[in-house]
């Protein structure tokens, strides 16, 4: 084996990342499929996550020589477990994934179904898609790895993906969705209504029209998006806001405005590109005299950070014991009725942070705009 693999691994700037699973720039010697033989090494160039998904891309080397570009997909199935259980089934050893590869030039886009197989090494379903399974001239694959290669195997090849994999650095996006297998193994009966995990009921917001609360501003998605872009520089004022009328409140709410003027603006800075369990990062502007309805999220957490103006925020009584000395008021909570809340004065630097079930809302009774940034993520 070429000694440069070990040398790169032990460099200080890389060794500090060994505490992170699949760090960038490290030539991996374990945990990936072909590394059951020490003749293979992986150069993992990018790692991205989205909910239960981990996606890696990079290069595979055999005996120190470049062999193939690859994409590796891992799926830990917590969403699909629940969806299958609603249908009275358990997940078995195999799943199917819809995969769409999207190079940065918009050409060589291709899609295919691929099988994911359960791996106890990482406690997840996984597959590696290689550009080629052929060994270099005058060489051969190790027998420890050869039995993993082929159609519907842990190391496989999808010919339609080859143009996109050939320039692995230019492969910028993948769309993914995972579903149950066609057959329930080991019993063998056909699954006619497979459950899908396709970013369940997810949507994102775009300013297609200035009309408040228009359905035209909501775009529904059917797949998870994996974006290999490494960085963004964004000026928030360059992002057009989406406008909402009587946001997060119902007609029986005393704050509900029938004149159509209780409009707040949200600049959706980053949405689908966020990794892990993050859902959005946006900037909210509440004009003078306007209000965002008091509400709560179940299964997710949200943070507000006030950056401009002053106002009144609401937090559920008992949610933060340190707020007990603030005034108690009754608020109409979106979807659940009236609850007692603490009324909290906010200004630049104030933070409202709520866990799953935590009540929060905000009002601007002043004469200047109240602006805050917010991000939301799933609790698990």
pLDDT tens digits, one per residue of 40-67? 988 888 989 998 999 999 999 999 899 9
Identify the CA nearest to 377 among candidates 356, 362, 361: 356
Mean pLDDT of 356-376: 97
Whether 42 and 28 have beta carbons less than 8 Å apart is answered as yes
Q: What are the C-alpha distances in Å from 221 to residues 176, 199, 244?
A: 11, 7, 21
Confidence bin at 3 (pLDDT 50/70/90): low
pTM, two decimal places? 0.91
Whether 280 and 274 have beta carbons less than 8 Å apart is answered as yes
Per-residue model confidence (pLDDT) at position 255 = 96
Does residue 300 surpass a pLDDT of 50? yes
String of DSSP letters for 235-304: -GGGSPPEEEESTT--TTSTT--TTS--EEEEEEEESTT--BTEEEEEEEEE-TT-EEEEEE-SSEEEEE
Does residue 120 surpass a pLDDT of 50? yes
Per-residue model confidence (pLDDT) at position 15 = 63
Per-residue model confidence (pLDDT) at position 18 = 54
Does residue 144 surpass a pLDDT of 80? yes
Q: What does pLDDT average to over the chain?
A: 92
Per-residue model confidence (pLDDT) at position 23 = 46
Domain with CATH 2.60.120.10 in the chain: 232-378
Whether 346 and 311 have beta carbons less than 8 Å apart is answered as yes
Mean pLDDT of 318-327: 97
Does residue 7 surpass a pLDDT of 70? no
- Residues linked to residue 280 through DSSP beta bridges, in sequence order: 376
In angstroms, the first-to-last Cα distance of the chain is 41
The CATH superfamily holding the domain 232-378 is Jelly Rolls (2.60.120.10)
Mean pLDDT of 127-131: 98
Whether 378 and 299 have beta carbons less than 8 Å apart is answered as yes
What are the structure tokens assigned to 320, written together?
């933060």
Per-residue model confidence (pLDDT) at position 202 = 85
234-286 pLDDT tens trace: 999 999 999 999 999 999 999 999 999 999 999 999 999 988 888 899 999 99
**How many degrees, rounded to 5, is the angle at CA 214 between CA 257 and CA 377?**
90
- Residues linked to residue 46 through DSSP beta bridges, in sequence order: 57
Confidence bin at 29 (pLDDT 50/70/90): low
Identify the CA nearest to 268 among candidates 244, 245, 300, 288: 244
Give burial (CB, 10 Å; 0-12/13-18/19+) of 131: buried
160-211 pLDDT tens trace: 999 999 999 999 999 999 999 998 877 778 999 999 999 877 899 999 999 9
- Mean pLDDT is highest, among 49-53, 90-94, 340-344, for 340-344
Mean pLDDT of 11-36: 65
Using a pLDDT cut of 90, give the percent of the chain over it: 79
Whether 212 and 278 have beta carbons less than 8 Å apart is answered as no
Cα(281)–Cα(138) distance, rounded to whole angstroms? Answer: 53
Sign of the C-alpha dihedral computed for residues 113, 114, 115 and 117 taken in this order: negative
């Amino acid at each position: 084996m070429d000694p440069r693999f070990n040398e790169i691994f032990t460099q200080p700037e890389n060794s500090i990342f060994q505490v992170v699973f699949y760090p960038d720039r490290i030539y991996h010697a374990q945990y990936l499929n072909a590394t059951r033989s020490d003749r293979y090494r992986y150069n993992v160039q990018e790692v991205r996550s989205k909910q239960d998904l981990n996606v890696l891309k990079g290069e595979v080397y055999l005996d120190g020589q470049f062999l193939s570009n690859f994409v590796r997909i891992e799926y830990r199935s917590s969403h699909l477990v629940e969806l299958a259980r609603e249908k009275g089934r358990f997940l078995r050893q195999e799943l199917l994934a819809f995969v769409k590869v999207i190079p940065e030039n918009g050409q060589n886009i291709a899609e295919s179904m691929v099988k994911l197989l359960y791996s106890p090494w990482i406690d997840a379903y996984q597959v590696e898609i290689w550009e080629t399974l052929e060994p270099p001239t005058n060489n051969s694959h190790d027998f420890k790895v050869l039995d993993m290669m082929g159609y519907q195997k842990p190391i496989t090849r999808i010919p339609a993906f080859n143009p996109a994999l050939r320039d692995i650095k230019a492969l910028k996006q993948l769309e993914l969705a995972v579903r149950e297998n066609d057959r329930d193994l080991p019993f063998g009966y056909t699954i006619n209504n497979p459950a899908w995990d396709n970013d369940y009921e997810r949507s994102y917001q775009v300013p297609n029209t200035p009309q408040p609360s228009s359905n035209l501003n909501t775009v529904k998605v059917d797949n998870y998006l994996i974006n290999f872009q490494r960085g963004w520089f964004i000026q928030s004022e360059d992002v057009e806001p989406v406008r909402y009328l009587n946001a997060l409140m119902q007609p029986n709410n005393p704050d509900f405005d029938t004149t159509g003027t209780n409009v707040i603006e949200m600049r959706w800075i980053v949405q689908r590109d966020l990794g892990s369990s993050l859902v959005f990062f946006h900037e909210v502007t509440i004009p003078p005299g306007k209000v965002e309805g008091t509400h709560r999220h179940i299964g997710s957490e949200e943070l507000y950070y006030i950056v401009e103006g002053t106002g009144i925020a609401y937090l559920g009584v008992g949610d933060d014991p340190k707020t007990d000395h603030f005034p108690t008021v009754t608020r109409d909570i979106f979807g659940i009725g009236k609850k007692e809340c603490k009324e909290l004065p906010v200004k630049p630097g104030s933070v409202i942070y709520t866990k799953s079930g935590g009540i929060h809302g905000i009002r601007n009774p002043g004469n200047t705009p109240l602006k805050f940034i917010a991000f939301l993520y799933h609790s698990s």
